[in-house]
Amino acid sequence: MYGKNPNDVVAHQRTVVPFIDRSVWPEALMEQVPRLLASRLSIRIAAPITITTGGEYRLGARHVQRHGHALLIDGQRRDAHGLTAATLTPGRHELVVEVSSR
């Protein structure tokens, strides 16, 4: 979380969780939110995914589309709405969702 100055980090948390959902957000961080008067919240979620059958896949970042957001697969920006297919080969890939709220 950032303060009034864009370079002023008022809270930072790094956590490994089994899936992406608000229920697994660290409680220690969420307790700080009302007190910090943050002007911006930036979230980066990275997850390895394994593709067993190569082909075209449509992956979307639901529930974050009203904020500044990005969906990256293997470091390449993709359509965060899931409308455009991404061709993925069998193997491990990195899925990243970035959300910034002001």
- Do 34 and 58 lie in a common domain? no
Could you tell me if 53 and 86 lie in one domain?
yes
C-alpha to C-alpha distance for 100 and 102, rounded to whole angstroms: 7
Q: Is 54 helix (H, G, I), strand (E, B) or coil?
A: coil
User: What pLDDT, in 10s, does the model give residues 47-73?
Assistant: 889 999 999 998 877 655 555 678 899
Residue pair 44/10 in contact (Cβ under 8 Å)? The answer is no
pLDDT, mean of residues 68-89: 88
Indicate if 52 and 26 belong to the same structural domain.
no
Same domain, 33 and 51: no
Q: What integer pLDDT is reported at residue 7 of this predicted model? A: 74
Structural domain range at position 17: 1-39
User: pLDDT at residue 36 above 60?
Assistant: yes
- Chain centroid to Cα 1, Å, comes to 14
**What's the pTM value of the predicted model, to 2 decimals?**
0.66
Domain count for the chain:
2
Statement to judge: residues 8 and 50 lie in one domain: no
